[in-house]
C-alpha cells in the first residue's frame, strides 16, 4: 500500500490571501482541492491523510475535501505548531500496512499524478534508497552570507538542488526517523532531513519547475494560468 500525507496545517500568514493560501480560490476551486485531486487521481496512491489547521478542520473539510468524495481520503486531522509536528500527526493516521509514504505540501497544487507515480517508481527501483525527493538543480548563483547579509562565499551550484515535494519514503524508515527526531529533539528543515539525520540514503529526482509552492499572491496568477491551460489541453484532447 502506498499512502500520502498532504500537509496544509500552516497559518499562511505570509501569503496575504484572505483565509490563507490553502483555501484561496484558483481556477474555480481552493488551492488544497487541486492538490488533493492530483493524489486522488494517481493510481499509485491508495490512501490519503490530509493535515490541516487544528482550529479549522471542518472548514477545510467542507471546502476542499468532501467535494472530492474519494474512498482514498481516509482522514482529515489537525496539525501541530510546526510542520514537523503536523507530519508526525499525519503519520499517526496513516494505515499501518503502508509500505511507502509520500509527503506533499498542500500549497503545491500543480503537482501531477504522473510526477507522484514517478517518484514512487524511482524509490521502488533502488533498494538502497530510503527516500526520493522531487526538486531541481539550482539555476542561479548561490551566495553564502553572514548575519549582516555580507557575502562570505559562493556555493558551487553544480552540487546544489532546490528541494520540493512530493518527498517519498519507505514507511518503516520514515516512522523510525520521526521517532528518533522526537527522542533527540532534532528539528529538520524538511522530511528528508530527518531521514538523512537517521542515516537513510535519499536521492533527488528532477521535477518540473512549475511545481511551485503558493507563498505570495503573485504565485496565484501563475497557478491560475497553468491550471487553465491544462484544463483547455485536456478538453482539446
For 98-144, the pLDDT digits (tens) are 999 999 999 999 999 999 999 999 999 999 999 999 999 988 899 99
For 107, the grid coordinates are: 500549497
How far apart are the C-alpha atoms of 26 and 33, rounded to whole Å? 10
- The residues spanned by each domain of the chain are 2-236
For 223, the grid coordinates are: 497557478
Please tell me the pTM assigned to this model: 0.93
- Mean pLDDT over 207-227 rounds to 93
For 34-49, the pLDDT digits (tens) are 999 999 999 999 999 9
- Which are the contacts of 143, defined by CB distance < 8 A and separation ≥ 6? 151, 153, 154, 155
DSSP-derived 3-state class of residue 52? strand
Position 14 confidence tier, pLDDT thresholds 50, 70, 90? low
How far apart are the C-alpha atoms of 77 and 70, rounded to whole Å? 16
Cell 549582516 -> residue: 148
The highest-level CATH class for domain 2-236 is alpha beta
- Give the neighbor-by-neighbor strand order of the sheet with 100-105: 73-78, 47-52, 2-8, 100-105, 161-170, 131-137, 202-206
Tell me, letter by letter, the H, E, C secondary structure of 119-172.
Answer: HHHHHHCCCCCCEEEEEEECCCCCEEECCCCCEEEECCHHHCEEEEEEEEEEHH
Chain-centroid distance of CA 223 in Å reads 16
Beta carbons of 216 and 31 less than 8 angstroms apart: no
How far apart are the C-alpha atoms of 22 and 220, rounded to whole Å? 11
Amino acid at each position: 500500500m502506498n499512502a500520502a500525507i498532504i500537509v496544509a496545517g500552516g497559518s499562511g500568514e505570509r501569503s496575504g490571501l484572505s483565509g490563507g493560501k490553502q483555501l484561496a480560490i484558483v481556477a474555480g476551486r481552493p488551492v488544497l482541492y487541486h492538490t488533493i485531486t492530483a493524489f486522488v487521481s494517481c493510481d499509485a496512491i491508495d490512501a490519503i491523510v490530509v493535515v490541516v489547521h487544528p482550529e479549522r478542520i471542518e472548514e477545510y473539510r467542507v471546502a476542499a475535501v468532501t467535494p472530492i468524495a474519494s474512498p482514498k481520503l481516509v482522514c482529515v486531522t489537525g496539525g501541530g505548531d510546526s510542520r514537523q509536528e503536523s507530519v508526525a500527526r499525519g503519520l499517526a493516521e496513516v494505515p499501518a500496512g503502508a509500505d511507502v509514504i509520500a509527503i506533499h505540501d498542500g500549497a503545491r497544487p500543480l503537482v501531477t499524478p504522473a510526477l507522484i507515480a514517478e517518484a514512487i517508481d524511482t524509490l521502488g527501483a533502488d533498494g538502497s534508497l530510503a527516500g526520493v525527493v522531487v526538486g531541481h538543480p539550482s539555476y542561479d548563483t548561490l551566495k553564502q552570507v553572514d548575519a549582516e547579509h555580507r557575502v562570505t562565499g559562493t556555493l558551487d551550484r553544480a552540487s546544489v538542488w532546490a528541494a520540493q515535494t512530493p518527498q517519498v519514503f519507505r514507511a518503516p524508515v520514515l516512522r523510525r526517523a520521526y521517532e528518533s527526531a522526537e527522542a533527540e529533539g532534532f528539528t529538520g528543515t524538511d522530511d528528508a532531513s530527518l531521514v538523512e539525520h537517521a542515516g537513510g540514503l535519499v536521492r533527488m529526482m528532477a521535477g518540473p519547475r512549475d511545481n511551485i509552492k503558493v507563498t505570495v499572491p503573485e504565485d496565484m496568477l501563475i497557478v491560475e494560468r497553468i491550471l487553465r491551460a491544462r484544463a483547455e489541453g485536456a478538453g482539446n484532447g
